[in-house]
Amino acid sequence: MTMAGIGQGVAMTEVSVVLLPSADWPERMEVATELVARGTTVHLPPEIVLSDGLAAAIADSRTVAGLAVGLNAADIPGPIVLVSHGRTSRLLPALALAQRSAHRLVRGYVLVDSPVPAPGLHWPDAPVWWCCTGDAPESIVKAELTARLRGFEVRVEADLAATIVIACD
């Protein structure tokens, strides 16, 4: 589903935001609504449904494949900013590779209440914002130092929608 900031009385950005699905992110739709109110085009891919009992590596690869196919089939304008929440962020290096393969420019990444993904050969290939909300578990709060050492822009209890808009610039 794509939500456009049309008729909101705000200038639209040329970059589209993709809010990746995450079962543990109930505020996802609120964030999308706020971004649209700020004039940002938002794409909400559906949750990828998998069979029970899959090994973690297989589940991750199938999720990345499903997301990549969905993103490539969607008519998403401009470069994108990928926003992930929680453990979904571990999929970003593989999803970034899939987007490069499809010749889609990723402008940036925003990780929300997330552990820091392992670096890849070509990831990160764009700036990364690491955001920690007041709802983050202690294990995530402790990842702040790792995010700083990796050179990510760190935002603690900052306005999430504002940070995503900054990532679009």
pLDDT tens per residue across span 80-125? 999 999 999 999 999 999 999 988 999 999 999 999 988 888 889 9
pLDDT given at position 36: 96
The parent domain of residue 95 ranges over 2-48+59-168
Give percent of the chain above pLDDT 70. Answer: 92
Amino acid 41 reads T
The rounded mean pLDDT for the chain is: 89
Residue 31 lies in a domain: yes
Q: What percent of the chain has pLDDT over 90?
A: 73
In Å, what is the CA distance from 39 to each residue of 9, 108, 147?
A: 8, 18, 29
Identify whether 25 is part of a domain: yes
Residue 54 lies in a domain: no
- Report if residue 108 sits inside a domain: yes
Rounded mean pLDDT, 135-150 = 91
Q: 74 in a domain, yes or no? A: yes
The confidence score (pLDDT) of residue 3 equals 55
In the predicted structure, residue 169 carries a pLDDT above the cut 80: yes
Q: Is residue 111 part of a domain?
A: yes
| Overall number of domains in the chain | 1
Flag whether pLDDT at 11 surpasses 60. no
Nearest to 67 by CA among 86, 92, 87, 100: 92
Instruction: Supply the pLDDT for residue 6.
Output: 36
Q: Is residue 161 part of a domain?
A: yes
Q: Is residue 67 part of a domain?
A: yes
Question: Would you say 96 and 106 are in contact if contact means Cβ atoms under 8 Å apart?
Answer: yes
Domain of residue 155, CATH code = 3.40.50.1820
Query: Residue 58 has what pLDDT?
Result: 95
pTM score over 0.75: yes
**Per-residue pLDDT, 75:** 80
**φ, ψ for residue 17, nearest 5 deg:** -100, 130
